[in-house]
A and B are shown apart, each in its own frame.
Chain A
C-alpha cells in the first residue's frame, strides 16, 4: 500500500461547483497533515494545515479522520483560479519531520 494515496483526477467542474478530494495514508502514527496547491511546473504552496477538529479557511474546509486514516479537502464555490493540482502531505512520526506527498489530484474549473 502506498504511504499517501490520492485520486489523480482530473476533476472537471463548472465555476461555482463544490468539489471534494480525499487522501488516505498508511502510517497510523502520522502526526500532521497538510494540503498544498501546485500549479503547473511551480512549487507546492501551502493551502492549509489539517487539524483534528477540522478547519475552514474561506471557501476551503479540511477534515481529518484518524480512525479511517484519511483527510479531505472541500472547495466551495469553485473559481477558475482554483484550477491546479492539490497535494496531500503527511508528516510521519519520528525523524525531523519529512513530508510524504501524495501524487496529487488535478482540478480543472471551467466557465
Chain B
C-alpha cells in the first residue's frame, strides 16, 4: 500500500537554527498538509498546499514557517529560526482529491527537538 514518507525521523537542533523537514506524499495525491503534535497534546493543523501554493494556514504558521514543493515528489516544511516551543512531532499528510469524503493519509512523522 502506498505510503507518505518523512525524513528525518528525528531532528535535534539548537534554538535559532533553521530546519527543513521533508515529506514524500503518495504519488497520485494532489493535496498536501503539515500538522504538528506537541507531546501530550492534540494534533494541530499547520498548513495546506495545493497547486503549488498555500491554500490555508493556521495561526501557528507564522512568518518563521514556509512550505515548498521543489520538485514533483518532495514537500518540505522549513522553520527559519527555531524556538524551544517548536519542539513537537511534525506530520505530513496527503490526499488524492478535494472531495471531503477522501481521508488524509499521514506519514510517520519527524520528531523535532529544539535545545
Give residues in A with beta carbon < 8 Å to B: 31-32, 34, 36, 38, 41-46, 49, 87, 91, 95-104
* Complex Cα spacing A104 to B41, Å: 9
The range of chain B's interface size is: 20 to 34
Minimum Cβ distance to chain A for residue B95 (Å): 7
**Mask: chain B, 18-49; 1 = CB below 8 Å from A; 0 = not:** 00000000000001010100000111110010
Residues on A with C-beta less than 8 A from B95 are: 97
A43, B108: Cβ atoms closer than 8 Å: yes
Point out the residue from B48, B91, B111 that lies within 8 Å of A97, measured CB to CB: B48
Give the secondary structure class of B's interface: strand
Q: Are A104 and B42 also in contact (CB < 8 A) when A44-B106, A96-B56, A97-B95 are?
A: yes
A87, B43: Cβ atoms closer than 8 Å: yes
Minimum Cβ distance to chain A for residue B11 (Å): 15
Minimum Cβ distance to chain A for residue B29 (Å): 12
